[in-house]
Chain A
Amino acid sequence: QKEVEQNSGPLSVPEGAIASLNCTYSDRGSQSFFWYRQYSGKSPELIMFIYSNGDKEDGRFTAQLNKASQYVSLLIRDSQPSDSATYLCAGHDMRFGAGTRLTVKP
């Protein structure tokens, strides 16, 4: 079992909707988590990181960390077709989830 688990999807949402991406982890000692976005044929790039319980907002993106329940999520508000990509969750120990492919339909 991977230490970081993601629902591999795919996930499809209409333009303007909220996309919700989720990740669970097994190591209770994990302190920080990272969300990377990977466009098809490209390399991953960091879009959000979170260290503390609760929410962290950056523009249309909100990362949520719940250490008691051992999950981390990424919400994308007002989804745009340009958000269509694979989203990868990673822990502080450089272990990645399988990724969730998101498609935003115009």
Chain B
Amino acid sequence: DADVTQTPRNRITKTGKRIMLECSQTKGHDRMYWYRQDPGLGLQLIYYSFDVKDINKGEISDGYSVSRQAQAKFSLSLESAIPNQTALYFCATSDPGDNEQFFGPGTRLTVL
């Protein structure tokens, strides 16, 4: 079984809809991250969490919110989706003693 899972893997939605992307991990890592990837722009950090009670904004947090429900779960919400939020979204985890990040398989989101 994969260590970092994301659901759904693909989602098509309409402008104005609320969307939640979920991430779960079995690695036992305290740190979790959400990134979006657009062609030619690499990975951009949206939010990150170093433990259950810690939430931090990244480079591009506007229009997004997150919830850290447990050590193993970190959800990303788009309260009112817009077309320029169409992208590939990755969740990642890491251990405090090791900066290597482990990525989930990604969620491809299309906002029409």
Residues of A bordering B, CB below 8 Å? 6, 8, 32, 34, 42-46, 49, 88, 90, 92, 94-99
Whether A92 contacts B41 in the complex (CB less than 8 A), given A43-B104, A43-B105, comes out as no
Chain B residues closer than 8 Å to A46, beta-carbon distance: 100-101
B74: chain A residues within 8 A (beta carbon): none
Q: Taking A43-B90, A43-B105, A43-B106 as contacts, is the C-beta distance between A96 and B44 under 8 angstroms?
A: yes
Q: A43-B90, A94-B33, A94-B48 are in contact. Are A49 and B42 (CB under 8 A)?
A: no
Q: Which residues of B contact A45 (CB under 8 A)?
A: 103
B-side interface mostly: strand
Find B99's partner among A8, A44, A92, A99 (CB 8 Å cutoff): A92
Query: Which residues of the partner chain B approach A43 to less than 8 Å between Cβ atoms?
Result: 90, 103-106
How many positions in chain B have a CB within 8 Å of any CB in the partner chain?
19
Given contacts A34-B101, A43-B104, A95-B45, 11 further A-B contacts (CB under 8 A): A6-B42, A43-B105, A43-B106, A44-B43, A45-B103, A46-B101, A49-B99, A49-B100, A88-B42, A92-B99, A94-B45
Whether B43 and A32, one on each chain, are in contact in the complex, defined by CB atoms closer than 8 angstroms, is: no
* Interface check B97, CB cutoff 8 A: no
Q: Are A96 and B43 in contact (CB under 8 A)?
A: yes
**Residues of the A chain whose Cβ atoms lie less than 8 Å from the Cβ of B44:** 96
Instruction: Closest A residue to B58 by CB, please name it.
Output: A94
Report yes or no: A98 in contact with B45, Cβ–Cβ below 8 A.
no
